[in-house]
């Protein structure tokens, strides 16, 4: 995609253009900073038949499965609300036979995306898992969940997982510029691998910043602009999960969600109120403040603790010194051109 | 007179004492994060606390909500990714990790994935997360079980303990020699693993619990340590630390929820809702 094309758009437009029925969709975030606003938009647009990848499928997976968007799930960790008496959307869907799940460990799941990100066809993972039911019990991937091969150098049997290249990644970050250069810091998890393994990338951010900000802090950029298809500015776009430097986990809202999620009716009522009942994140925040008070939102806003600036400076920014002489040869541009002429080195 | 303590405080403090100064420690969600913070503050100042999400050398100021909670501290020393966290474990740089257990067998193999059939679950549990790889490659693992069960056969084998017991783990050639679980902490007592057979051995019982209380949960003939004793009592300094640092964990989940719901309700009333 050309950098001159405008990538800044609304969540509605971004999901409408880049997430299709039947896609392999990966949630870029791991445990924190969940791209909740983008997830809600996928549900409102009623995407169907998704194969969903989520490293830690807690809030995001529960609402997407509860919304009927997902046929197949690849994950390492799913949520269960309310202990023995409780339940989860994943459990209910598996019991109803509407959801198939493939279980991996955190490392194996991430390794599939790392392989995909680098263009490899598989990745070596940690062989201890060969004795477990992760290896022995397989779902829709069957033989291709894992394969064991001899290492060509040591001869030792090694465990491998296949690369994953999802159709689209949706991911929330702290900040991005209008070209899509996306900066994320904190628990890095598998954010970069999930995004870079994917064919299309939709980024939402707490704020869109000037390109200068990105240029002076490239160590924070986890997704380069040329890979990104859409940039959506959504303050509180990860609420009720947290974004480092912006806001904490909303424990009240999170607890209320999981209490509702203990049964299907409860989850449906919660989603009617917070997903279908709010046309976008502005409406969601308005509803939140009307219901729980603006002070509940203020109470979780982060106080600043800035990273020490890294000095990206250099001794000079031009080959020409204060007297306009080239630093190594000691000549002006006019003198250089005269010498080239004198030596017969100029053509045309 | 020494301070009285809650069961939750006893569990956290017993777990914290397993962390030695200078060790590299992977913290799991819940009790271990508070135990890690206590160890670092009181007796293991040079321990390096880390979480699989890629945040290393943290000094938590409040109890972390989960394993990616950089909000619980004011910065940290090394930001890496999940992939590197596990490869550093594979290479042998992790001394201790903590894992919660839903089902455990005689030899410390654990299930955190499902109760009932895997494909048609009676109860779908979280799954492996990092557990299978950590229990494979950390030098030692502390297991915690609250509300889980001892079984002869796991419904699903998520993470490897001592396999079939004896030397079977080392003999498999898949794991670092000498690695594996070293302790199981439950709401009733502390278990270790027999050096030869690698089966669970009851080592300590918590105050007010009898050996029979523990035996009735266990479907095999439980081995009892010859020097069986009551679980070491927490010191006042440890109790004070937990109450100040993690008050909601000191009181336990049930009372915490009761008080928190009442508090939210009162706040809503005050706003006229």
List, for residues A55-81, the tens digit of each pLDDT value. 998 999 999 999 999 999 999 999 887
* pLDDT tens per residue, range A166-178: 999 999 999 999 9
Report yes or no on A2 lying in a domain. no
Count of the separate structural domains present in chain A: 2
Instruction: Flag if A106 and B133 touch (Cβ within 8 Å).
Output: yes
Report yes or no on A303 lying in a domain. no
What count of CB pairs under 8 Å joins A to B? Answer: 166
- Statement to judge: residues A117 and A16 lie in one domain: yes
* pLDDT tens per residue, range A111-165: 999 999 999 999 999 999 999 999 999 999 999 999 999 999 999 999 999 999 9
Tell me how close the Cα of B227 comes to any Cα of chain A, in angstroms: 34
Report yes or no on A186 lying in a domain. yes
Instruction: Flag if B82 and A133 touch (Cβ within 8 Å).
Output: no
- Statement to judge: residues A217 and A289 lie in one domain: yes
Contacts of A110 in chain B (CB under 8 A): 81-83, 86
Count of alpha carbons within 13 angstroms of residue B99, beta-carbon side? 35
Nearest CA in chain A to B90: A126
Res B30: pLDDT: 79
pLDDT tens digits for chain B (273 residues)? Answer: 689 999 999 999 999 999 999 999 999 877 898 999 999 999 999 999 999 999 999 999 999 989 999 999 999 999 999 999 999 999 999 999 999 999 999 999 999 999 999 999 999 999 999 999 999 999 999 999 998 999 999 999 999 999 999 999 999 999 999 999 999 999 999 999 999 999 999 999 999 999 999 999 999 999 999 999 999 999 999 999 999 999 999 998 889 889 988 888 888 888 776
Res B252: pLDDT: 87
Tell me how close the Cα of A14 comes to any Cα of chain B, in angstroms: 27
pLDDT of residue A83 exceeding 90, the answer is no
pLDDT of residue A247 exceeding 60, the answer is yes
Q: Which of B191, B198, B196, B197 is nearest to B225 (CA)?
A: B191
Beta bridge partners of A70: A50
Contacts of A172 in chain B (CB under 8 A): none
Report yes or no on A54 lying in a domain. yes
Contacts of A90 in chain B (CB under 8 A): 124
Res A4: pLDDT: 59
- Statement to judge: residues A280 and A211 lie in one domain: yes
- Statement to judge: residues A231 and A284 lie in one domain: yes
Instruction: Flag if A105 and B129 touch (Cβ within 8 Å).
Output: yes
- Statement to judge: residues A267 and A330 lie in one domain: no
| SS3 per residue for chain A | CCCCCCCECCHHHHHHHHCCCCCEEEECCCCCCCCHHHHHHHHHCCCCCEEEEECCECHHHHHHHHCCCEEEEEECCECCECHHHCECHHHHHHHHCCCEEEECEHHHHHHHHHHHHHCCCEEEECHHHHHCHHHHCCCCCHHHHCEEEECCCCCCEEEEEECCCCCEEEEEEEEECCCCCEECCCCCCCHHHHHHHCCEEEEEEEEECCHHHHHCCHHHEEECHHHCCEEEECCCCCCCCCECCCECCCHHHHHHHHHHCCCHHHHHHHHHHHHHCCCCHHHHHHHHHHHHCHHHHHCCECCCCCCCCCCCCCCCCCCECCCCEECCCCCEHHHHHHHHHHCCCCCC
Tell me how close the Cα of B2 comes to any Cα of chain A, in angstroms: 35
Instruction: Flag if B127 and A244 touch (Cβ within 8 Å).
Output: no
Contacts of B82 in chain A (CB under 8 A): 30, 55, 106-107, 110, 188-190
d(CA A232, CA A13): 9
- Statement to judge: residues A226 and A188 lie in one domain: yes
Contacts of A108 in chain B (CB under 8 A): 133
Tell me how close the Cα of B228 comes to any Cα of chain A, in angstroms: 32
Nearest CA in chain B to A33: B68
Instruction: Flag if A105 and B68 touch (Cβ within 8 Å).
Output: no
Res B273: pLDDT: 66
- Statement to judge: residues A17 and A72 lie in one domain: yes
Task: Using CB atoms, pick whichever of B79, B127, B133 lies closest to residue A107.
Answer: B133
Task: Using CB atoms, pick whichever of A110, A248, A293 lies closest to residue B82.
Answer: A110
- Statement to judge: residues A207 and A345 lie in one domain: no
Instruction: Flag if A193 and B81 touch (Cβ within 8 Å).
Output: yes
Contacts of A56 in chain B (CB under 8 A): 129
Task: Using CB atoms, pick whichever of A77, A249, A307 lies closest to residue B65.
Answer: A249
Q: What is the mean pLDDT of chain A?
A: 96
| pLDDT > 70: percent of chain A | 99
Instruction: Flag if A185 and B79 touch (Cβ within 8 Å).
Output: yes
Report yes or no on A325 lying in a domain. yes
Contacts of A32 in chain B (CB under 8 A): 53, 66, 68-70
Res A1: pLDDT: 44
Tell me how close the Cα of A85 comes to any Cα of chain B, in angstroms: 10
- Statement to judge: residues A238 and A265 lie in one domain: yes
Enumerate domains of chain B plus CATH numbers: 7-270 (3.40.1080.10)
- Statement to judge: residues A281 and A328 lie in one domain: no
Give the CATH number for residue A210.
3.40.1080.10
Instruction: Flag if A302 and B71 touch (Cβ within 8 Å).
Output: yes
Local confidence band at A269 (pLDDT 50, 70, 90 cut-offs): very high
Res A85: pLDDT: 81
Report yes or no on A152 lying in a domain. no
Instruction: Flag if A91 and B123 touch (Cβ within 8 Å).
Output: yes
Res B272: pLDDT: 76
Res B270: pLDDT: 84
pLDDT of residue A301 exceeding 80, the answer is yes
Nearest CA in chain A to B137: A128
pLDDT of residue A89 exceeding 70, the answer is yes
ipTM of the complex: 0.95
Domain of residue A74, residue span = 11-121+163-298
- Statement to judge: residues A115 and A169 lie in one domain: yes
Tell me how close the Cα of B102 comes to any Cα of chain A, in angstroms: 11
Task: Using CB atoms, pick whichever of A30, A55, A132 lies closest to residue B157.
Answer: A132
Instruction: Flag if B118 and A133 touch (Cβ within 8 Å).
Output: yes
Task: State the catalytic residues of B.
Answer: 52
pLDDT of residue A2 exceeding 70, the answer is no
- Statement to judge: residues A269 and A294 lie in one domain: yes
Report yes or no on A143 lying in a domain. no
Report yes or no on A130 lying in a domain. no
Instruction: Flag if A128 and B147 touch (Cβ within 8 Å).
Output: no
Spell out the residues 6+ positions from residue A243 whose beta carbon is closer than 8 angstroms to its own: A32, A33, A172, A174, A206, A237
The residue of B49, B129, B175 whose CB has the most chain A CBs within 10 angstroms, and thus the best one to mutate to test that interface, is: B129
């Amino acid at each position: 995609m050309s950098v001159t094309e405008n990538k800044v758009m609304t969540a509605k437009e971004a999901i409408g253009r880049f997430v299709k029925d039947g896609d392999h969709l990966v949630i870029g975030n791991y445990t924190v900073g969940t791209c909740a606003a983008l997830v809600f938009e996928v549900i409102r647009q009623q995407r169907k038949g998704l194969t969903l990848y989520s490293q830690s499928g807690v809030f995001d997976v529960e609402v997407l499965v509860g919304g009927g968007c997902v046929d197949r799930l690849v994950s390492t960790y799913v949520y269960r609300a309310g202990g023995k008496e409780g339940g989860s959307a994943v459990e209910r869907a598996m019991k109803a036979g509407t959801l198939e799940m493939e279980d991996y460990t955190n490392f194996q799941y991430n390794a599939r995306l790392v392989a995909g990100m680098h263009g490899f066809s598989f990745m070596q993972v940690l062989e201890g898992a060969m004795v477990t039911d992760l290896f022995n019990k397989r779902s829709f991937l069957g033989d291709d969940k894992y394969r064991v091969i001899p290492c060509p150098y040591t001869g030792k049997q090694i465990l491998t997982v296949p690369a994953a290249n999802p159709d689209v990644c949706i991911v929330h970050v702290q900040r991005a510029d209008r070209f899509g250069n996306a900066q994320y810091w904190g628990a890095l998890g598998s954010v970069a691998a999930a995004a870079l393994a994917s064919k299309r990338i939709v980024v939402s951010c707490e704020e869109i910043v000037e390109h200068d900000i990105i240029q002076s802090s490239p160590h924070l950029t986890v997704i380069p602009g040329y890979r990104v298809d859409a940039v959506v500015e959504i303050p509180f776009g990860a609420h009720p999960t947290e974004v480092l430097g912006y806001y904490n986990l909303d424990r009240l809202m999170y607890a209320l969600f999981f209490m509702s999620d203990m049964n299907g009716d409860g989850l449906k009522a919660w989603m009617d109120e917070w997903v279908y009942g709010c046309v976008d994140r502005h409406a969601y925040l308005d509803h939140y403040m009307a219901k729980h008070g603006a002070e509940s939102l203020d109470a979780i806003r982060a106080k600043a603790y800035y990273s020490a600036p890294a000095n990206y400076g250099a001794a000079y920014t031009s080959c020409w010194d204060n007297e306009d002489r080239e630093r190594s040869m000691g000549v002006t541009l006019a003198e250089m051109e005269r010498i080239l002429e004198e030596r017969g080195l100029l053509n045309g | 007179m020494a301070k009285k303590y809650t069961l939750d405080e006893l569990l956290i403090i017993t777990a914290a004492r397993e962390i030695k100064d200078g060790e590299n420690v992977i913290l799991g969600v819940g009790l271990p994060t508070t135990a890690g913070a206590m160890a670092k503050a009181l007796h293991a100042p040079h321990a390096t606390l880390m979480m699989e999400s890629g945040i290393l050398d943290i000094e938590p100021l409040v109890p972390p909500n989960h394993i990616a909670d950089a909000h619980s501290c004011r910065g940290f020393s090394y930001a890496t990714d999940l992939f590197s966290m596990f490869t550093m474990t594979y290479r042998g740089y992790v001394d201790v990790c903590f894992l919660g257990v839903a089902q455990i067998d005689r030899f410390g193999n654990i299930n955190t994935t499902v109760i009932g059939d895997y494909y048609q679950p009676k109860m779908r549990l979280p799954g492996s997360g990092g557990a299978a790889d950590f229990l494979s490659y950390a030098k030692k693992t502390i297991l915690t079980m609250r509300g889980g069960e001892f079984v002869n056969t796991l419904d699903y084998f998520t993470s490897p303990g001592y396999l079939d017991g004896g030397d079977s783990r080392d003999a498999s050639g898949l794991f670092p020699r000498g690695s594996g679980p070293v302790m199981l902490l439950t709401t009733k007592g502390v278990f270790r693993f027999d050096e030869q057979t690698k089966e669970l051995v009851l080592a300590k019982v918590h105050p007010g619990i009898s050996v029979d209380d523990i035996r009735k949960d266990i479907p095999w003939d439980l081995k009892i340590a010859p020097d069986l004793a009551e679980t070491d009592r927490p010191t006042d300094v440890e109790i004070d630390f937990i109450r100040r640092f993690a008050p909601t964990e000191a009181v336990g989940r049930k009372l915490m929820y009761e008080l928190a719901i009442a508090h939210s309700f009162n706040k809503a009333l005050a706003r006229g809702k």
